[in-house]
Structure 1
């Protein structure tokens, strides 16, 4: 079977989607299928290193100031050429497409001409998330229409949680779907002996957009630092909120606040291994309370506990697994609560043995490879009809 994966983001660019897609490509190839990935050239400073047996075709694309493919023009710079890349690339038996919805819409139109099925990966509901970035009814209506159009045209939709699946149904999608959950690349994320750091630190790894509400972490760290000086707070990744967070950090006079561009998975693993804890947030009452912060999986696989503030299934996950392993702490979306959680972990950090046990447990239970194999089965059912 021949399979084509289309995505604006792919390994080695660090993101949950990148890790998932590379695992899927590896699973498909391992099952004996011919796999081609149509994606973009990675950001400056990150070298491409592709999986053996997978043909990755990379094209230039516009990126925003943070180096991320985000925004109308960057999306169009990938989506419009993708239409012709799909038409003039050897036809596949089945296709897999990653959001944004504009890419899904392009996929539906192109594959209607090619008469081939596709799988749409609906890890999030983009039109809900966009409501936190713009109040334009025209933009939101158009995005919602494109997203539903992409769902309805798919032969199958994969989702990350029951919350996303329920929301899709509410918005009018009747396409057959599978709830996959999410996981981590266990070949990369693992506990390693911590590198000695000049100053202990907390790390936020990944995207920080409007709906994350990461500003609360700065307020919490400023309060925490009054009684625990010498710590650093590292933001590693990119997001639309960077300028605002930098401004806020200066306003609060935070010492040790650092912003780093995206790093590859191996480097992120080292940073998580050496961190006192990782941080994650989801701002409540933004119409996106059902979202799951997937960065949690990479953290616990690296043996690093998570401090989560906000609402949704991430808090439930931590509460449900806390009795098994010290996965972290979930607190209300209040900076005082976050500061207290930082203090508790800083004053009683996990030992090396407990971190290693956490890593082993997480890697065994939440490996991406098992999820990727489920996607391979779905692709085979669609493509081999």
Structure 2
């Protein structure tokens, strides 16, 4: 089977989507399949390191933070993609990652070439856009584009039943497989370092995350536990809000901001931290999603404080029946601060971190997710045959 993966982001660029797509490529290769990847050139200072797949890149526009994000950057990827996908050696199936503009290109070219494609709907982009200060007209257009891209797919894969329910409400009747979400345990093995007075927020922090509440909680915690640091590693549209809140509360000197880093560079931070922190803002259309950063932290043996609604809390409750995995709480500054206090008072020992990483590898391995995705790709390819 020949599979073409289409995504504006791919390894080594640090992101959950990169790790996920890389795991799918690895599983395809392990099963003896042929894999092409059509993606953007990685950020300056990074270079592709294929593991058997053919990675075909081309330059794109990036935003101020170095991401392919925004109308012009998306177009800079999608327009050349149309040509590349049209002339590429014919695959049996295409596996694509949003945005919906990419979905439109994939649907049109795949229809012309009579190639089935599988759409990775980890979330609903037009739902997420409602959390940003954009015109209702933009939301309407984005919703129409997303529906068009989804309705042409032979199959759809997603991470939770909540996304399936949302797709049905939007009138998407294509077959959907819930493949789950996990951690690439090879990229995030249990790690150990000299303990620091540190909490880490690793990954993106957009409006749907509401990460500014972590600063509120940290300020309350810091009043009774001086010397601790809250470290944000990643970027997102909420960074100005987070920085402003830290200044307002007088804790800016104890809050650090690092650019996104590859897993190997993130591991020492997780290994030294009391815990990582993840949030999802409640009362939004985005409540059904996972906080994917949680899985990488658990895989590395770093406990998690998760605040907010959705299925992520259930993962921590499940883990805590067998290992010490962290604390799930409401999206409330006082509860987050109490969780910080509890975990700082009872830090995980190295053997507990090892047990947490081993549990995650067994129960939420990205390789298991990738195997389920490959099964869906094979089904879609058989449909073409």
Give the TM-score range, shorter chain: over 0.9
Aligned length in residues: 382
Please give the per-residue CA displacement for 1:255-284, whole angstroms capped at 9, x wherever unaligned.
321111110011122221221100000000
Aligned equivalent of 1:321, options 319, 322, 336: 319
1:233 aligns with 2:230: yes
Per-residue CA distance 1:350-375 (angstroms, 9 max, x = gap): 11111111111111211111211122
Alpha-carbon distance, 1:135 to partner: 4.1
Secondary structure of 1:187's aligned partner:
coil
Alignment match, 1:166: 165
- Deviation, 1:321, is 2.9
Match of 1:139 in 2: 138
In the other structure, the counterpart of 1:23 is 23
Q: Aligned pair 1:274/2:275, yes or no?
A: no
Q: Secondary structure at the match of 2:247?
A: helix
Aligned position for 1:12: 12
Q: Could you tell me which residue of structure 1 aligns to residue 296 of structure 2?
A: 298
Match of 1:32 in 2: 32
- Normalised by the length of structure 1, the TM-score is 0.96
Q: Which residue of 2 aligns with 1:338?
A: 336
Aligned to 1:189: 188
Q: Distance in 1 between matches of 2:24 and 2:120?
A: 12
Using the TM superposition, give the Cα deviation of residue 302 of structure 1 relative to its aligned residue in structure 2, in angstroms: 0.5
1:365 paired residue number? 363
Supply the distance in 2 between the matched residues of 1:282 and 1:371 (Cα, whole angstroms): 23
Aligned to 1:119: 118
Tell me the distance in 1 between the aligned counterparts of 2:333 and 2:269.
Answer: 24
In structure 1, distance between residues paired with 2:204 and 2:61: 18
Could you tell me whether the CA contact under 8 Å between 2:48 and 2:55 is conserved in 1? Answer: no
Query: Quick one: distance in 2 between partners of 1:43 and 1:341?
Result: 36
Give, in whole Å, the separation in 2 of the partners of 1:102 and 1:134. 20
**Structure 1 runs (4+) greater than 3 angstroms displaced:** none
| Structure 2 CA distance for aligned equivalents of residues 168 and 33 of structure 1 | 30
Give the RMSD, CA atoms, in angstroms: 1.3
1:347 aligns with 2:345: yes
Could you give the per-residue CA deviations for residues 166-217 of structure 1, whole angstroms, max 9, x where no partner exists? 10011011101100001111112111221x26x4211111110001000000
Separation in 1 of the partners of 2:341 and 2:47?
38
Q: CA deviation at 1:323?
A: 1.5
Q: Who is 2:206 aligned against?
A: 209
In the superposition, relative to structure 1, how do residues 241 and 163 fare at CA in structure 2: closer, same or farther (>3 Å)?
Answer: same
CA contact (8 A) 2:101 2:145 kept: yes
| In 1: Cα distance, 2:249 partner to 2:46 partner | 32
SS of structure 2 residue aligned to 1:227? coil
8 Å CA contact 1:12–1:265 kept in 2: the answer is no
TM-aligned CA deviation for residue 246 of structure 1: 1.8
* Aligned-partner SS, 2:86: helix
The 2-side partners of 1:262 and 1:20 are apart by 16
User: Which ranges in structure 2 are unaligned for 5 or more consecutive residues?
Assistant: none
Separation in 2 of the partners of 1:68 and 1:242? 14
Q: State the alpha-carbon separation in 1 of the partners of residues 262 and 319 from structure 2.
A: 28
Q: Where does structure 1 lack aligned partners over 5 or more consecutive residues? A: none
Report the secondary structure of 1:207's partner residue: coil
Distance in 1 between residues matched to 2:372 and 2:308, nearest whole Å? 30
Q: Deviations over 1:202-245 (max 9, x none)?
A: 11111100010000001111111111111111111111111222
Q: Is the 8 A contact 1:46 1:264 kept in 2?
A: no
